[in-house]
Structure 1
C-alpha cells in the first residue's frame, strides 16, 4: 500500500471514530466528564490505537474531548460561561441558516422533511427519548443548513460542540423547559416553509432566548467550575 493510501486509510478510520464518539454523546452513551478507555474503544470500533489517538486529537481541537497527560482522554464538560459564549456564536449563524432557507423559496415537498423533523422532535420530547431527541435535533439543523444552500455555513456552525452542551443539560431540565425547546423547532420550520425570512429569523431568536432563560434557571451543579 502506498504512503498516500495508508494516510487516506488512517484518515478514514479517524473520521469513523470521531463520528462514533459524537453519536455516542448524542445518544447518552458517553456523557460530559466521562473518561474514555482506549482498549474498550479500539476493540468496539475495530481500529488501531494510532487511529483512535488521531481522532481524539481532532475532537480535542473541536472542544469535544479534553486530553490530559495524567488523566488521559475524557468527554469535555462546559461551564456556564462557555455555554453562554457558545450560544452567542451559534445564534447569529442559526439565524442566518433560517433566513437563507426561507429565502431559497423551497417548495412544500422540499420543506416537508424539515416539518416532519420538527414534529418528530415534539414527539420525542413528550416521550422522554432524550438520545433520539438529540440525534433528531442535529438532523434538523443539518437540513436547515442544506436548504439554505450555503456550503461554508455547514463548515463553521458549531453543531458538534452544541451536541455536547445539549447532552450535558438535557437530563437536568424540567418538562416545561424541554417543551419550550422542542416547540422552537416547529416555529422555525413553519416560517421556512412559508418562505418568511423575517419570521424565520424571529423564530430562531426566540428559540435562543428560551435556551438562555433555561440556562439561567439551571442549578450551578449542572456546570463544572470555570
Structure 2
C-alpha cells in the first residue's frame, strides 16, 4: 500500500519522526487518496507497531522509550547474529561467496550523496542474501516485524565505522566461521545501541 510504504520510507529519510501526528485530512490531500484508504493504511501501520492511536487525539508515529529501544536492539542483535552464524555455516560454494562479496561491495561503495535510504536498501539486500545463504525462511518472515525504522534518526554511524562493521561480518562469514560471524555481528549491533540509547527518553 502506497501510504504505508511511504510512511516507512519517510521514517528512514526523516520526513516522518517518532511522536509526529498523522492527521487523516492531511494524508488524504498529500497522497491524493480517499479517506477509507488512509484509514486502512493507519490500521496497517498500527498493526505493525509503527503507529499508535489515542482516543480524541488521533494517530501518531510511535515514540520509543529508552527501555523499548533497548529491547528492540537486544532482539535485533540476537537475530542478526544468528543470521550471520547460519550463513557462515552454509558458505560452501563460489556462487555464495561471490553474491555476498557483491552485496558488501554495494555497501562499501555507497556514496553519501545517494542518500541514507539508498544505503538502507543496500543493507537490507545484504542481510537478505545472508538469510538466503543460511536457509532460514523464518528469520525472513520475522525480521521485517522489528521496527528498526523507529530508531533510524538516532542510529547513524559514520560511514567508515559502518563499512568496518560490515567488512568484519563479511570476512567471518566468508571464512565459514559461524561463531566468529555471530560474535562480530552482535558486537556491531551492540556498538550501535550503546551510541544510540542515550538519545531516547527514559
TM class, shorter-chain normalised? Answer: 0.7 to 0.9
Please state how far the C-alpha of 1:46 moved relative to its aligned partner. Answer: 4.7
C-alpha RMSD of the superposition: 2.8
Query: Deviation digits for residues 119-169 of structure 1, max 9, x if unmatched?
Result: 33344476683332233323322332222221111122256511221x220
Query: Relative contact order: is structure 1 or structure 2 higher (C-alpha 8 Å, sep ≥ 6)?
Result: 2
Aligned residues: 202
Structure 1's 190 and 108: CA in aligned 2 closer, same or farther, altered over 3 A? Answer: farther
Structure 1's 108 and 28: CA in aligned 2 closer, same or farther, altered over 3 A? Answer: farther
Q: State the match for 2:154 in structure 1.
A: 169
- SS of the residue aligned with 2:153? helix
Of 118-127 and 23-32, more deviation after overlay is shown by 118-127
Please report the TM-score for the alignment, with normalisation by the length of structure 1: 0.74
Q: 1:109 aligns with which of 72, 75, 95?
A: 95
Structure 1's 186 and 163: CA in aligned 2 closer, same or farther, altered over 3 A? Answer: farther
Consecutive unaligned residues in structure 1, runs of 5 or more: 1-14
Please report the TM-score for the alignment, with normalisation by the length of structure 2: 0.81
Q: 1:100 aligns with which of 83, 86, 96?
A: 86
Conservation of the 8 A alpha-carbon contact between 1:102 and 1:195: yes
Please state how far the C-alpha of 1:207 moved relative to its aligned partner. Answer: 0.8
Consecutive unaligned residues in structure 2, runs of 5 or more: none
